[in-house]
Amino acid sequence: MPDTPIFKSDFLRTFAARGAYYDCSAPQDLDELFAKERVTAYIGFDCTAPSLHVGHAIQAMTLRRLQQAGHKPIVVIGGGTTKVGDPSFRNEARPLLSDEQIETNKAAIRKTFANFLHFGDGPNDAIMVDNAEWLDRLEYIPFLREIGRHFSINRMLTMESVKAKIDNDLPFSFLEFNYSIMQAYDFVELYRRYGCRLQSSGSDQWGNVVSGIELGRRVEGVQLFGLTTPLLTTASGAKMGKTAAGAVWLNPDMRSPYEYWQFWRNTEDGDVGRFLRLFTDLPEDEIARLEVLKDAELNAAKAILATEATAICHGRKAAEQARETARRTFEEGAMAEGLPTISASLPQGILTLAVACGLAASNSEVRKLIANNGLRINDALVTDPKMMVGLDALTKDGVLKLSSGKKKHVLVKPA
């Protein structure tokens, strides 16, 4: 990881202090730009799923920090680039989505940013654009002549994402090869339309960002900038956001505010301070106080992290409801409203039911959970992996509560 420069501008100084800085194309020049004018910056998000996941949260927070410092963020929804697919560091090509799937995903992803950013017509209000607006209208031969001629195949073959595929003899289509050119063109088009001078991204996108900077210099004679964030892992080395139940989605219809709250509440001890800086708006003095707490007090700090991170993603009301649901469930063993709820046909085997609830990824994981006294129905320990769960397990409220440990609970309603 490159050394972090000492910045003078409010945004970059805060960005680095919160642990979000990884690298920059021209740190001193960008620092001077931020110090003297309002900077318009963008981050792109492809529409490969009907929700972004928690791995994207650091990018959403980057745009939030920009706006808080008085600058103008642009959210680029990749309706055009999704039709090609980013090949970066993948062993196989992304499946091509239909236009209908892309439109559905675009509509869902737009909702993600409602709480992260303020949108409007003001000088530093955020805007959201779809790169299909210009990419879908390109004519092939003129695009090759005007833009393609600025790209060296030799240079593109040295990009880490491309090189990894070639070195490992993995399939790499001509369609995917064009992705970097399209992302570079996005940057230039955003400069032309909105005066956008900065693209931010995860560090794995550095090659594509640099391509956009060079294209801007060649076709517009302008200095554009790139700013990257680190790819996050937890203190134990696990990839950020990977759980037994799958990805931690940002949209509430794919992961409830309560489940999102629980994800942050389960943060490893060594990550509390780092995640408070990256994913909340709490001031540094408060974070410094919380990150040195121990034992039960550290658990209280984790609850604060969970509440503040959830408030940014889902709103303060949903965050407080999630916290109260967790308190009641833990302290009272209650069938608290707000717990994740699924419908399932009963009777059903306990293994299948636990997997359906997202408490484990497979039957074998459920067996391990049972063997370790980690699975309960209505707070009663499950000891038999062959157990059938029938209607007689329903409480007077017409549901049953399936729990993994003390923190993960799901309500099951008969289908």
Angle at 358 between CA 353 and CA 361, to 5 degrees: 90
**341-414 maps to which CATH number?**
3.10.290.10
Instruction: Give 338-352 as a 3 state SS string.
Output: CCCEEEECCCEEHHH
| Whether pTM exceeds 0.85 | no
pLDDT at 337: 58
Contact status, residue 212 vs residue 174, Cβ threshold 8 Å = no
Q: Which residues pair with 41 in a beta bridge?
A: 73, 198
Token pair belonging to 293: 């707490």
pLDDT at 299: 92
How many CB atoms lie under 10 A from the CB of residue 368? 14
Beta strand 72-78 with 380-381 is: unpaired
Q: What one-character DSSP code corresponds to residue 140?
A: H
pLDDT at 361: 83
E strands, 212-347, where? 225-229, 242-243, 246-247, 341-344
**256-332 maps to which CATH number?**
1.10.240.10
**10-229 maps to which CATH number?**
3.40.50.620
Local confidence pLDDT in tens for the 415 residues of the chain: 678 889 999 999 999 999 999 999 999 999 999 999 999 999 999 998 999 999 999 999 999 999 999 999 999 999 988 887 766 545 455 677 888 999 999 989 988 999 999 999 999 999 999 999 999 998 877 887 788 888 877 777 777 767 776 777 766 667 677 788 899 999 999 999 999 999 999 998 998 899 999 999 999 999 999 999 999 888 888 888 656 556 899 999 898 999 999 999 999 999 999 999 999 999 999 999 999 999 889 999 999 999 999 999 999 999 999 999 888 776 655 555 567 788 888 888 999 999 888 888 889 889 998 988 889 888 788 988 888 898 888 876 677 888 887 667 888 888 7
* Short-list 338, 409, 402, 413, CA closest to 376: 402
b/e code 117-131 from CB counts within 10 Å (16+ = b) = beeeeeebebbbbbb
How many CB atoms lie under 10 A from the CB of residue 167? 8
pLDDT at 89: 45
What is the Cα–Cα distance from 228 to 221, expressed in whole angstroms? 23
Domain boundaries, the chain: 10-229, 256-332, 341-414
How many residues are listed for the chain in this entry?
Answer: 415
